[in-house]
Amino acid sequence: MKSLFSLFFFLYSFFLFSQDLAILKYKGGGDWYGNPTALPNLIAFCNQNIDTKITPKPQTVEVGSTDIFQFPLLHMTGHGNVFFSETDAENLRNYLISGGFLHIDDNYGMAPYITKELKKVFPDKDLVELSTSHKIFNMPYKFPKGLPKIHEHDGKRPQAFGIFQEDRLVLLFTYESDLGDGWEDTEVHNDPANVREKALKMGANIVRYAFEN
């Protein structure tokens, strides 16, 4: 019992004092490495605008590795297949219930795969759509209509889904928004400045929420 308490205190200390994020590498063949300029740009925006001190170049961690426990926020993206082994799922579940946060940004085509794999992580939980009143849409930047639309695919409205552990949002799945495209270097997608600004501000809200909740 004492060793278990020590482990959780150790993990809590990481989350309490760490201000860093990492890219989550997963199996299945999906392009987990997509949007290579996205996170560095988001980090720069956060460090300049919401007083974070995030390491400029994000690390990459594998979903089944204990390295994920070093980061209060993991970012996951891609277009295609995702696969979690039982060991991966257990490791990710322990990370999330211990205080970690996972943001999954569907870069288009990821939804049917990730929703299936998340059932391995939390068999008794479902993704639920977040209300526009949720804190993640209101701090530090206001998004009264909820998740902004950044990149058009099928003409569907953007939706933010979450998984909760007790009352804490531990996982955010952003769908039909493509925030990561808006974080990339300007010339990658040629998005207008106001669209990129919305994407970066929403990203900053996610970072702030993950670091403080």
pLDDT, tens digit (0-9, with 9 covering 90-100), for 113-126: 999 999 999 999 99
- Does the pLDDT at position 196 exceed 90? yes
**What is the residue range of 33's domain?**
2-212
Strand order in the sheet with 101-106: 59-62, 21-25, 73-78, 101-106, 168-175, 159-165, 128-129
pLDDT of residue 46: 98
User: Taking the model in full, what pTM does it have?
Assistant: 0.91
pLDDT of residue 153: 72
The residue-averaged pLDDT of 10-14 equals 49
- Does the pLDDT at position 2 exceed 70? no
User: Taking a C-beta distance cutoff of 8 angstroms, is the pair 137, 205 a contact?
Assistant: yes
**Which CATH number is 13's domain given?**
3.40.50.12140
Domain count, the chain: 1
**Residue 32: closest CA among 63, 77, 74:** 77
Q: How far apart are the first and last CA of the chain?
A: 26
The residue-averaged pLDDT of 87-116 equals 95
Q: Which residues pair with 77 in a beta bridge?
A: 105
pLDDT, tens digit (0-9, with 9 covering 90-100), for 79-90: 889 999 999 999
Q: Strand pairing of 101-106 and 73-78? A: parallel
